[in-house]
Structure 1
């Protein structure tokens, strides 16, 4: 339960007031329930005419600082209650007294259920609020973590943690909060009443309870281990679904439907077997607690009956029945408590998986005392070394990019071009060396200021399931429609946007699925134009386009690149003929650099790349 308490300490404090009111109303509900049960004694005495004791009115006196005064108050209350009942029987008769007791029982029950509802009323904001906060924290953490974290994690498994695991936390831990706040209070108050009635019987009962608790605790530990395995398998299933949705075109093209289907069905069957074991253990809670409770009642009935049959019994028969009613009332809270323990064990397994995201450490952070950063002169890579894991991807790279110039990076796949560019906005940090802008190391500025200098246009246009307007104005606060239209015109996108059903308010579908490749790319360019960054990064922005789309996109790119510092990654060498400097990368190093014509004269790597693209 230590893990559960730590979870409460992390997420419940914002809802302290609701928690306090929940506890208050639970206490009132338990006390009212206890007093309503007390009416059993006079009802039984009236029905069976077994109480011949004569009661006289006892004056009330009370001093809060004296324990004897508290005992006297309790005795006076009990005596005066029975005095009133016996007096009522003598004056009005037993039938009328039963009616009075019945009305009083109804009133007490109404107050009990009212306070019970109010306890639920204040629990609901805690349950829903904590789950909302967990989802918000996961989403915030995802946006803060570096790209390196997600290259090691499967997208489907991350989605499973956000959906399945958070839902499991809601259905198990959060749904158990009420039981955990209410049931211990009920058990404590009922036990207090039982002790006041007969401490001998209660001590006897308490000897039996630790054994039942130990048995349930052992099953709960095994349940958590199985639950963690089940959630991991659920993550694998979600990953397979995500891969299937992303790769449907290839799956169908290679007639691999049966292979994908068999792989999923095999994993799904493994998950089913694990889930069956979890549910079977979980369903043991109710029958086990009921069996142990019934066995305990039988033993208590035997022991209590022995006390009553003995001479000088501390309790009479009606009081013993009241005692049994109270004890039986503990059974349901105990059952619910055992169920909640099982549910919490399952939820803790999900919380453990969620915490892998929430507690993940980012190695790319803002400095304590950040420096302002702006581009007035140049960007400089100084002796840069970088590796993702073991092998060096970049080796002692030195590169200077003057303001307003265009530098192109070319080379074979895997030569380090994209990695070199990804280091500039600090998607990753260099292992050795440094990258500076006007002499300021980029690690000395905030990520927000650094990335505010840059605009990206990638090979795959990354768009959102939203309108043209919101996609183009993405990342630019308070952009006007006229500004968005002007950016779209420069990007050669205005005409096809206006030809759509609702113009700039038309939804473009998931990842821009309603648009062609060229249209998606021009929306990306319009987005970069509107941001108006001093540094532009183009990552193979035209390599996936047909000739007509490439012409329009290239024209849009030329408009975007005017008077701007630009880094271009290109496979189509025809698109970077006019770059101020072309750097040829091979094996993580810059092996050649110069203008297009100068590199052709060298007759080296660059010329070979050009020759391979000629036909």
Structure 2
């Protein structure tokens, strides 16, 4: 109970107006429903000639007992109907009563529709808000969070899980407002008509509720398992699409087909069991409702036939109609409880992301970041991802306008070191200073706005050349984008495409060669015009001809900038002002290219092997 109240508190406040309007129209629908059913009593009385006693108008006031008031209202309504029938005749009265039934039913379905109409903004709004919250959180979380998470599982939480949470919230609203109010109104009328019959009904209903609750207990557990398996399936699809070239090269299609088929079958079995239990709610509640009605017909019939009931046969039929009308909202309540259980299971998975604490803490009183003017300093810096140290006791100074290159074998910690500067991670020991100030004192946004990145894998988006180059730069003009592309040696091949700068480049730039992708990435960094540049193996994946074009573009980019270069190729770093050689997380040599060659140490061996 408390869980789904908390659920509503989290997501419903922006939509209070729609909740109120929906509640109002559902309430009116219930009232019109009772009025429309009430027309049955005089119609049956006239058809079966059960109304024999002539009614006399009865005076009552609000100080009388409830029993007297109810009896007075009931008597006076019957009196009014009798007078109406006597005035216009039975045939005309039947026609008018039929019209009354139609009008009341029209009001009933109209207000019922409006009740649903005002629920739609809540349904669509909650889904939008939840997806926005998740997306904002994913964007804000540090890169380290996603090393332990599968992409497919995160996609599953943003698609399948949020839909389950939305369904759970709508069911919670029905459970809290719509269905209970409908049931209470109907029960109130039933009590007013015959408290003996209604008490008898209430004795039977708890058994129905217990049985329905028994069926739904395992839904939450199975729903969690189903969403996890959906995440695994999406992960495999994502990996397959990303690795099709390798899959075909190694003739591994059948192996992956078998693995996907096994996972898909496991998912089918999980959801088959889940849906079978979920769909059991409707037939079980309907069967139990019919059993209760059958018992009620027997019990009520015995009372009426024995003249022990306060209602006659026509009123008893109206009573049965009202009771039958309770079954639909009661069934919805039972299905709502199942949906809430499934939704709570999905909410736990969604909350694993929403409630995740970012390890990169923004400073409470951030310092204003001035334009970079002096130097970057890595001071006594050590870092580890889990248990093993990746970097130990690193001390590097990068003066403004200079280029420092980081070289070493794979796994020596080069990329990790440059990832610490824009605060993708924070050092475990030591600090990074910019112009003498610890970078933790700046907002991450301000810090990263001073930097441009060109990575080994050019990360591009399925958009136009223009939008990829202008990415992250507000209000960039066509002239600025073209100028950046020219400096990056990208203008010619862009103009050779069908639509020039408005041509789309495909998923992750799939329509381009490796060198072309890298030059678009460099153009993006040039347009940003950052004072600090990070090049992480920007030419390592290119052929010689592409490398020459990209190297020229990089040299244009590096002019008058402070640059940190991670490279495996000699051509990229031999002009660096200082080269730091990393081995097993420590700087073992440093100096210029010629100085390090003369040392005849790690750097010389790397040059000889060309394993940069």
Provide the TM-score with structure 2 as the length reference: 0.96
Q: Alignment partner for residue 338 of structure 1, among 325, 328, 334?
A: 334
- Give 2:301's aligned residue: 305
Query: Which residue of structure 2 lines up, in the alignment, with residue 98 of structure 1?
Result: 94
State how far apart, in whole Å, the 2-side matches of 1:185 and 1:291 are: 23
Deviation at 1:372, TM superposition (A): 1.8
* Per-residue CA distance 1:369-426 (angstroms, 9 max, x = gap): 0012242111011111111111111111111111110000000100000000000000
- Mean CA deviation greater in 409-418 or 487-496: 487-496
Name the CA distance, whole Å, in 1 between partners of 2:232 and 2:149: 11
The yes-or-no answer on 1:149 pairing with 2:145 is: yes
Aligned to 2:45: 45
Whether 1:163 and 2:162 are equivalent positions in the alignment is no
What are the equivalent positions in structure 2 for 1:175-214 lying under 5 Å apart? 177-178=173-174, 181-214=177-210
**1:550 aligned to which of 538, 547, 551:** 547
Partner SS, residue 300 of structure 1: helix
Is 1:15 paired with 2:15?
A: yes
User: How many positions carry a matched residue from both structures?
Assistant: 611
The answer to whether the 8 Å contact 1:127/1:175 transfers is no
Aligned match of 2:349: 353
Shift of 1:88: 2.6
Alpha-carbon distance in structure 1 between the residues aligned to 2:495 and 2:89:
91
Closer, same or farther in 2 for the Cα pair 1:18/1:69, shift >3 Å? farther
Separation in structure 2 between the aligned mates of residue 13 and residue 172 of structure 1, nearest angstrom? 16
For 2:576, which of 575, 579, 583 is the aligned residue? 579
Q: Tell me the secondary structure at the aligned position of residue 507 of structure 1.
A: coil
CA distance, structure 2, for counterparts of residue 98 and residue 438 of structure 1:
93
Report what 1:449 is aligned to: 446
What are the equivalent positions in structure 2 for 1:50-129 lying under 5 Å apart? 50-58=50-58, 68=64, 77-129=73-125
Q: Secondary structure at the match of 2:119?
A: helix
Q: Does residue 383 of structure 1 match 2:380?
A: yes
- Report deviation, 1:4: 2.3
Q: Residue 254 of structure 2: which of 250, 255, 258 is its match?
A: 258
CA displacement at 1:153 relative to structure 2: 0.1
* Contact kept in structure 2, 1:127 and 1:177, CA below 8 Å: no
Task: State which of 444, 458, 462 in structure 1 corresponds to 2:459.
Answer: 462
- Which shows bigger deviation, 456-465 or 89-98? 89-98
Equivalents in 2 of 1:197, 1:279: separation in Å? 40
Question: Is 1:418 paired with 2:406?
Answer: no
Larger mean Cα displacement after TM superposition, 237-246 or 337-346: 337-346
- The correspondence for 1:291, drawn from 276, 287, 290, is 287
Deviations 1:69-128 (A, max 9, x none): 987775554333322221232233211111111111111111111111110110100001
Name the CA distance, whole Å, in 1 between partners of 2:597 and 2:372. 32
After superposition, where does 1:445-594 map in structure 2 within 5 Å? Answer: 445-594=442-591
* Cα distance change on mapping 1:290 and 1:67 into 2, 3 Å: farther
- Report deviation, 1:6: 1.7
Match of 1:329 in 2: 325
Give the Cα–Cα distance (whole angstroms) in 2 for the partners of residues 301 and 312 of structure 1.
Answer: 15
Q: Deviations over 1:172-224 (max 9, x none)?
A: 65477457642222111111111111111111211222222122122212111
Give the aligned partner of residue 25 of structure 2. 25
CA displacement 1:525-583 (0-9 Å, x = unmatched): 11101101010000000111111111111111111101100000000022211100000
Distance between the aligned counterparts of 2:186 and 2:528, measured in 1? 67
Counterparts of residues 592-607 of structure 1 (less than 5 Å): 592-607=589-604
Q: What is the Cα deviation at residue 169 of structure 1?
A: 3.4
How far residue 167 of structure 1 moved from its aligned partner, in angstroms, is 3.1
Moved more, 317-326 or 429-438: 317-326
1:315 shift after superposition: 2.0
1:259-296 CA distances to partner (integer Å, 9 max, x unpaired)?
A: 11111111111111111111111121111111211111
8 Å contact kept, 2:383–2:392: yes
Residue 392 of structure 2 aligns to a residue whose secondary structure is: strand
Tell whether the 8 Å contact from 1:384 to 1:397 is kept in structure 2 after alignment.
yes
Query: Which residues of structure 1 form unaligned runs of 5+?
Result: none
Conserved? CA contact 1:120–1:178, under 8 Å:
no
Secondary structure class of the residue paired with 1:185: helix
Q: Unpaired segments of 5 or more residues in structure 2?
A: none
1:451/1:67 CA distance change after superposition, 3 Å: farther
